[in-house]
C-alpha cells in the first residue's frame, strides 16, 4: 500500500481529469 490512489486504467484517470478539471499523471513502473 502506497497511500496514493492510482487508477488502474487510463480511461478511469481520463474521466476523473475531465470531471475535476485536473491534469493526468501517468506513472509507468517496472514489471513486478
Q: What distance in Å separates the CA atoms of residue 17 and residue 32, rounded to the nearest whole number? A: 27
Total number of residues binding another protein (CB under 8 A)?
28
What's the closest the beta carbon of residue 30 comes to another protein, in angstroms? Answer: 4
What length is written for the chain? 32
Cell 501517468 sits on residue: 26
CB of 32 to another protein, least distance (A): 8
Window 13-32: residues binding another protein (CB under 8 A): 13-14, 16-18, 20, 22-32
13 Cβ contact partners less than 8 Å away, ≥ 6 residues apart: 7, 24, 26
Per CB under 8 A, residues contacting another protein are: 2-14, 16-18, 20, 22-32
Amino acid at each position: 500500500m502506497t497511500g496514493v490512489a492510482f487508477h488502474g486504467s487510463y480511461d478511469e484517470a481520463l474521466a476523473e481529469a475531465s470531471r475535476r478539471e485536473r491534469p493526468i499523471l501517468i506513472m509507468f513502473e517496472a514489471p513486478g
